[in-house]
Structure formats: C-alpha cells, structure tokens
Chains A and B, each alone.
Chain A
Amino acid sequence: MVSHLTKRFGDRSAFEDVSFEVARGEVFGFLGPNGAGKTTTVRTLGTLIAPTSGSAVVAGIPLSAATGAEIRQLISVMPENPGLYVRLTVQENLELFAGLYSLPSPAARIAAALETVNMAARARDLCGRLSKGLRQRVGLARALLSDPVVMFLDEPTSGLDPVASRDVHDLIASLRERGVTVFLTTHRLEEAERLCDRVAILNTRLLAVGPPEQLRMQLFRSSLVVETAVRLPAPETVFTRDMGVDKWITEGDATYVLTVADPRMTAPRVNRALVAAGADVVSIAVSHHSLEDVYLQLVDEDPEAGR
C-alpha cells in the first residue's frame, strides 16, 4: 500500500523511505514519538499534501494529483484536532459533511452516525459548548458518516480523560467488527497494543512493522529477574554463557537481571548454580516485555532520535 514514501519540508524530512502494507479490515497502529512524522504521513495518504518521492495506493487507488478527489470520497480523516464549526450545531456540522460527500439520505446517515457515538441526544447543541471528549465523538461521527473504506484517526485520544479515551477505544473496536480499515496514529503504546492488529513504529524512518506480540518477541529475548538474600560475591561465575545467559546486570543491591534465550531452561540451572555457590535465592521471575519496552529500545537506538 505504501512504498518508499518520503516527504521533505525544505531540507528536512518529516518521514523518509517509509514502506508498509495495510490489509483490508485491519486496525493498523502507527506509533511514534512527537515529531516522528505521523501527522505528515496521514496528510500525505489523505491527499492533502503530495509526497516528495515514493508511491502509495490508498483504498485501492494510486496516489496522484489527479486521483485526490476520488480517494477522498472513499476515505475519511480525523485530524489531531477534531476541527468542528463552533458556531454550528452538531447536526449542522454533520449536514455540511454529508453534503460534501454527496451522501444519499443524509438525515438517516447523520442519525446513524450520532447513534454510533452515543450523541443522538446532543444533535441540537452548538459544538462550541461541547467538552473536548464530546467534540472528539462528533469528530468520529463525522468520520463515520460517509461509510469510508479507510479511516485515518490521528491521535484520537490525545488530551482525553480516561473515560472518554475508553469510549473512543470501544468505538475503534466496533469499527474492526464492521470491517473498516483503520489507520490509527498514536504515541500511546498501550493503545496500540490493545487495539491494533499490527503496529508500525516510526521515527522519521520506519523502525519496525508487525503484530504487537511478534514485535515484542522478535526484538527482545526474555529476562530473568533473580533476587538473592545478600549480594553475590562473584556473580560472573554463576551467570555464564554456558548457563544460557547472554547478558546480565545488577539492579539494586542483590537483584540481577539476566537476558536469556530460553527462560524455562535457564531458570532451573541458574537456581541450582546459585544454591551450589551457597547463595540464598529469594526469587527467580521471568519478566515479560511490553510493547513499550520494544518501542523505547527502538527509539533509543535510532541514531536520529536525539535530533
């Protein structure tokens, strides 16, 4: 769907050589720190700005200056800021967009979209009077209105309180059930991990793409956290490569974090070795890495991260 896409502003790249594919009906997470180029990617795929180089196919149509309107008819974009006309009511805002998408039976579509986001009762309210969470819901209703093939949601929960965020999450989950392809931009890891079928990690360049759990396995070997009663006199004699320990570090006074390939094999061996060495083992635990760890590792290792 996207191949070697680059966008530069002057001599500065917003994103560079980005390639990935999103399957129909997939919820695809686009994860990256602030300034990673997420919004610029959404704007490029949403045909608002032209890529500097590379190509992309959006909703089955190749991206080009001539196909912009055609693509826009099939997709919908919810920008970072929902951008509602504050002097118009919820209903009037949606009427405008129903008109812009040339929807048949707009009244029914608007009612259905408002129903989906639980805002039917607020249709007559001025948007200027709504809370941020409610505006976000109206923005989502607007994005749903045209029954798009692909929905781009740019940080839909940024700045929302936990309850409003959960509503948005539930809605995205329900979109997946309807078979809508969702391109979800976020810098919140738990959000990506919870909602997305696959995740791409971006920091100007694409660092990794895959299902959240696979990224985790691929990038991290497991860890064993070993705690002993007192500090070991010579840990290096216990935590050896022969035992299956790749690396180890001391954490705190008498806690050691071991990077291992296979914790099920290594844990009992380490235990036996520690006992043989006369140490009192308080606990040995397998530590699971979250996507967060993967993410931070990638962004940390990225030479451009410190820009």
Chain B
Amino acid sequence: MIGLDLGRLGAVARKEMREYRRTPFIVGAMLVLPFIFLINPAIVIFVLSAAIKPAAAARDVGSTFLVLLVVPAVIPATIAAYSVVGERDQGTLEPLLSTPVRRGEILIGKALAPVIPSVGIAYLLFALVVILAHFFAQNPAVAATLSDGPHVLAQALFAPLLAVWSIGVGTAISTRASDVRVAQQLGTLASLPPLAVTALVSFQIVPLGVWTAVGFGLGLLVIDIAMWRVVAAMFDRERLITGSRAVKTTGVSPGDSVGPGQVRRIQA
C-alpha cells in the first residue's frame, strides 16, 4: 500500500460522502442513534441520587461510557458492510477497478467516509454528556468520574480504534458477501467483540487508569492492524470481479435473430 495518491483517495472519499448523504438509512442512523444513546447517560445524570456512594456512582458512569462507544463501534461496520457489495450491485465495481486507483486508496477513501462522522458523533456526545453532567448531575461523583483523566483518555482513544476495527471487519465481510442485508447483519455482529473488551473497563472488572486506557488502546491498535492486513489481502481485483459472479444475463444469440437455416442450406 505504498504510494498513496491523496487526490485519488480524496476522490473516493468525496464520492462515498455524497452517496451516504443521499442514502436515507445512513442519514437516519446518524441522526437518530445518538439520541438513543443519550438515554442511558441522561438517566445517570438526572436520576442518580446524591445519596449514592461515589464508588457505586462510578460504576453506573462506566455503563454510560460503554454506551457512548457503541456509535463508533457499530455504525461504521454497518455502513462498510454495504460498501463493496453495494458497488457490485450497482455494477460500479468494475469501472472503479478499471481506473488507475490503487487498492489502498479505495480502502482508505471508503473507510474515511463513515469513520469521520461516527467518531465525530462519539466525541460530540461525550462532550455533551460531560457538560450536562457538570450542570445537572444530582450526584457530584458523576461529573467527577466522567471528566477525570483516564475516562477522557479512554474515550478519545477507544472511539477511533473501535471505529477502525469496525470498518475493517465490515469491509472484509463486504468483499465476500453477495447480499447487502446479510453483509450488514454479519458486520454488526462482528463489530461487537472489541466492544466487549472495553466493557471490562466500563464495568470496572479492570479498574480504569491512565495505563489501562493506554494498554487497551494498544491492544485495539494491534487487532486493527491485523484486521486491515486481512482486508487488504481480500481486496484483490480479480477476486472481486470474478468471485461472486452476478447472474449472467442471457441475451439473444445472433443465430436466433437471423435465421441460420438459409445459410446452412447454401453450404449443404
């Protein structure tokens, strides 16, 4: 994947953004899901009474933290699952691969389009939750826990790392899938394991400190890199074109339309 051309990469990313903007499912998901994921934090902020001890409060805040990571962990996979099958369905994969564009440019260009908005949404949601907590939380431990160093660091690191895994696994499934729906369901499922790992931190099975955050971050980075190697290997022009062959359209064969009988008689 050496020698990436930013112009070509940008062209792919721009095209992806334009397509997503006109896909109601994706726009809807990006608009609606953040509100759903605000429900749990809102309960923690507005309902958790001041009487609860700081340790117990911190545990509830942990669940909030996990919920906020669902957006970057799951949405990119769902979108990416569509990316290659979708091109194949539209018949655009072949013209796209017939241009000088490199494999890495397609993959990164396609990855940027969903990663940027979902990580952006995750950061915004987190900022919003921290601000709300400072102003409205009944229990002072909530705001304190949310905005302490390790939490902010973990949120900042995990969101993009989970998103990168998510989009990688979604793309991998998409290169092999022949059906958009199946690809999206598999993609969503496959995006969950790393999220489960972060759950260890959220539920304080592993206590969250700066070093645990960094450690888990590194762990995620390693599986991200491994995943992307697999994706790059799967993204092979020939496999993509011939792998799951579209149903061949049977046109009229020339013999049918011109009455071959006459000619045969001449040769008889």
Chain A residues in the interface with B (C-beta under 8 A): 9, 33-34, 43, 46-50, 68-70, 72-73, 76-79, 81-88, 92, 95-102, 139, 142, 158-159, 187-189, 223, 249, 251, 257, 259, 287, 292-293, 295-297, 299-300
Contacts and interface: CB of A to CB of B under 8 A. Distances in A.
B264 A292 contact: no
For B23, B102, B265, the residue with the greatest tally of chain A CB atoms inside 10 Å of its CB is: B265
Interface of B is mostly: helix
Interface string B191-205: 000000000000000
Given A139-B95, A189-B254, 11 more contacts: A9-B242, A47-B237, A48-B238, A73-B100, A77-B94, A88-B15, A102-B7, A257-B266, A287-B266, A293-B263, A296-B255
B99 A34 contact: no
Nearest to A74: B100
B90 A95 contact: no
Nearest to B250: A34
Contacts of A293: 263, 266
B161 to A, nearest CB: 29
Given A49-B241, A76-B98, A83-B94, A92 B251 contact: no
B255 A299 contact: yes
B242 A83 contact: no
A297 B267 contact: yes
Interface of B: 5, 7-8, 10-12, 14-15, 18-19, 22-23, 90-102, 237-238, 241-242, 250-251, 253-255, 258, 260, 263-268
Nearest to B23: A87
Given A84-B92, A188-B254, A99 B10 contact: yes
B267 A81 contact: no
Contact of A158 (B7, B98, B251, B266): B251
A33 B15 contact: no
Nearest to A294: B263
Contact of B266 (A48, A77, A87, A223): A223
A73 B266 CA distance: 48
A48 B8 contact: no
17 contacts: A9-B242, A43-B94, A48-B98, A49-B241, A73-B100, A81-B91, A95-B11, A95-B15, A96-B12, A97-B99, A100-B101, A102-B7, A142-B95, A287-B266, A292-B263, A293-B263, A296-B263
A92 B5 CA distance: 20
Contact of B100 (A69, A159, A297): A69
A293 B263 CA distance: 6
A96 B263 contact: no
